Homo-oligomer: A and B are copies of this chain.
């Protein structure tokens, strides 16, 4: 291991292609063709080789195969944080399809650090993955964006495949969740209940995901003479702890809010815990909304009104795109956002 200084294992008992060839009494060229299912090998020959290979428990050396120009069987996946249910569910979708396709997945997480994300992408490419999937919001930061774009472009030019989940300012195949539409739906739900003193707790606006969700919310707020710009908004980490922190500050700055819209479920969960600690009834005194519909949203108390995004399906589709041959124009698939009304929202008391 590079990181620990140990060495790769020697070539011990594992059978090589030449072992199979010898045992089957053919050349390694024929053995290779038989095993890869290439045309131009007689059925009987191919059968014999495959039987021998199975007996010997032969599995091709991935590195040799790839180096020689064979097909790749590894895809890379970059997420912000695998411990986060949103990304874990996306990864689950990717891994599920990958297993079915006989592919293996290399996962990196960036810890939400744009620099780290760039490094991870480069590492995956250096590792020779056949495709890379970038999940999670792109960063608004121009400089990083330019570098990521350049890296991915040259990878694409070399025949690599790329798919992204979320908006990335990249002309690559994309699975795009309806962040704007979802933001609009949830904000409309809140205002339609009659709320006018609304607070927002948000992750970093450097994330396109947040930008888009806020955009949708803004339209719904504008419709009743409000708007994000005139709404108390606290920015913090896009996590449960960030949600707590932001909720505390929001209650400080705008103690009279009757609704808090969180930009994702994690932050909403943090907000709920703060409100519980304070003894503030939800939705009795303050309504709370999330976004994503992670699995636990339905099990919170009160169960969380949120916007459902089909995370697993998004991961699966991203891999599908990455596996399909490159098209002239980049493709886009939309992942539907669906408003899920549960128990954490109600009309404000008058």
A95 to nearest B CB, angstroms?
Answer: 5
Q: How many copies does the complex hold?
A: 2
Q: Is there contact, CB below 8 Å, between B128 and A109? A: no
Q: Pick the contact of A91 from B83, B99, B302, B325 — CB < 8 Å?
A: B83
| Chain B residues whose C-beta falls within 8 Å of the C-beta of A60 in the assembled complex | 126
| Chain B residues whose C-beta falls within 8 Å of the C-beta of A88 in the assembled complex | 82-85, 88, 91
A206 located at the interface, meaning its Cβ lies under 8 Å from any Cβ of chain B in the complex: no
Q: Is there contact, CB below 8 Å, between B301 and A300? A: yes
- Produce 1/0 per residue, A36-70, CB < 8 A to B: 00000000000000000000000111111011011
| Chain B residues whose C-beta falls within 8 Å of the C-beta of A124 in the assembled complex | 104
A99-B116, A102-B3, A158-B13 known; A301 vs B301 contact (CB < 8 Å):
yes
Binding site for B on A (CB under 8 A): 1-14, 59-64, 66-67, 69-75, 81-85, 88-89, 91-92, 95-96, 98-99, 101-109, 111, 116, 120, 122-128, 130-131, 154-155, 157-161, 240, 269, 272-273, 295-296, 298-302, 312, 323-325
Give me 27 A-to-B residue pairs in the complex whose CB atoms sit less than 8 angstroms apart, sorted by A's number. Answer: A1-B75, A2-B71, A2-B72, A2-B101, A2-B102, A3-B73, A3-B103, A4-B323, A4-B324, A6-B130, A7-B159, A8-B69, A8-B70, A8-B71, A12-B154, A12-B159, A74-B106, A82-B92, A82-B95, A83-B85, A84-B88, A99-B111, A99-B116, A105-B106, A105-B108, A106-B106, A301-B301
The 5 closest A-B pairs by CB, nearest first: A301-B301, A9-B159, A3-B101, A83-B92, A88-B88
Beyond A2-B71, A104-B127, list 10 extra A-B contacts (CB 8 Å): A2-B101, A9-B159, A10-B159, A13-B154, A60-B126, A62-B128, A63-B63, A85-B85, A95-B107, A272-B299
